[in-house]
Amino acid sequence: MPAQFETFLCLSDNVGVLIHDPSTGATAVVDVPDAGAALAAAARRGWTITDVLITHEHGDHIQGVAEVKEKTGAKVTGPAQAMAGAPVDVVVEDGSRIAVGSLKGEVHATPGHAAGHVIFHFPAETAAFVGDVLFVMGCGRAFGSMDDLWRSVSKVGSLPDDTRLWTGHDYTLSNAKFAMSVEPGNVDLQKRFMRAETLKANGELWGTTNVGMEKLTNPFLRLKEPEIRKSTHLTESATPREVFAALREMKNRF
């Protein structure tokens, strides 16, 4: 039976998500910005949280982990870097395999935003949880190395096009505005920008996407587009890595 998902808002702009295995009843929450929000989301669906998957060590992703573990007895899986702030039971790294009930996932190291950042990819479910590496029409900040972040964002972009992505934050409207500023001629982007404006006006959450749509509209996955390179004022010979770094700096100042 295919996995079921529940997406919900946490704090002001964090995106919470549950992945549920109907055949075993196992349910994982990916990151816990707010334990109350995660437990309430599970209760709404009649699910019990059995697993916590941590994408990275930032406080707004792990601060509710201890409370969820205490209230549910869930097993906590995450990178070693999260251990200082959360009760991690199983440490994972690049290439680790995980399971949520009968659902099988792969762990990919994706540093750059945070040293210990990992993403969880469930190929058979065409789903991946990408934390703060990639956002809808945008990407995370480079608190670590810009080269690492570029490689990590590219890694998400190299997953199959139909892979559904759950991101760590809803920065969608701000990202759409920035994307429009660097590639105003992109028709797919224009449509998504209008949709972001409508959803935001209605107060709705938009933190999910898929790889194919991001390849059409996310400037950080469109580094070879002439219009985007031009907007960075780099020369024709600029490499994708250089375009990425320039775009990220521009977004910081946007």
CB of 158 to Zn ion, least distance (A): 22
Q: Nearer Cβ to Zn ion, position 135 or 178?
A: 135
**Contact call for residues 240 and 231 (beta carbons, < 8 A):** no
Contact 133, 96 (CB under 8 A): no
Given phi > 0 = left and psi -120 to 50 = alpha, else beta, which region is 11? left
* Minimum CB distance to Zn ion, residue 60 (Å): 7
| CB of 97 vs Zn ion, minimal distance in Å | 24
By the rule CB under 5 A, 132 interacts with Zn ion = yes
| Shorter beta-carbon distance to Zn ion: residue 3 or 88 | 88
The pattern of x and - marking residues 179 through 218 that bind Zn ion according to CB under 5 A reads: ----------------------------------------
SS (H, E, C) the chain: CCCEEEEEEECCCEEEEEEECCCCCCEEEECCCCHHHHHHHHHHHCCCCCEEECCCCCHHHHCCHHHHHHHHCCEEEECHHHHHCCCCCEECCCCCEEEECCEEEEEEECCCCCCCCEEEEEHHHCEEEEECCEECCEECCCCCCHHHHHHHHHHHHCCCCCCEEEECECCHHHHHHHHHHHCCCCHHHHHHHHHHHHHHHCCCCCCEEEHHHHHHHCHHHCCCCHHHHHHCCCCCCCCHHHHHHHHHHHHHHC
Taking the least distance from each CB to Zn ion, the nearer of 60 and 183 is 60
Binding segment for Zn ion (CB under 5 A), chosen from 6-14, 53-61, 191-199, 205-213, is 53-61
CA neighbor of 220 nearest in space, from 202, 196, 246, 184: 246
Closer by beta carbon to Zn ion, 62 or else 211: 62
Give how far the C-alpha of residue 220 lies from the chain's centroid of Cα atoms, to the nearest Å. Answer: 14
In the complex, the smallest distance separating the C-beta of residue 55 from Zn ion, rounded to whole angstroms, is 8
Under rule CB under 5 A, how many of the chain's residues touch Zn ion?
A: 2
Task: Tell me whether residue 5 or residue 143 sits nearer to Zn ion (CB atom).
Answer: 143
Q: Of the candidates 16, 30, 33, 58, which one interacts with Zn ion according to CB under 5 A?
A: 58
Task: Work out how close the CB of 56 gets to Zn ion at its nearest, in angstroms, rounded to a whole number.
Answer: 6
Measured from the CB atom, is 46 or 59 closer to Zn ion? Answer: 59
User: Minimum distance between the CB of residue 100 and Zn ion, rounded to whole angstroms?
Assistant: 22
User: Binding pattern to Zn ion, positions 147-176, x when CB under 5 A?
Assistant: ------------------------------
Binding segment (CB under 5 A) for Zn ion, from list 51-59, 65-73, 159-167, 181-189: 51-59
Shortest separation between residue 113's beta carbon and Zn ion, angstroms: 6
Q: What residue ranges bind Zn ion (CB under 5 A)?
A: 58, 132
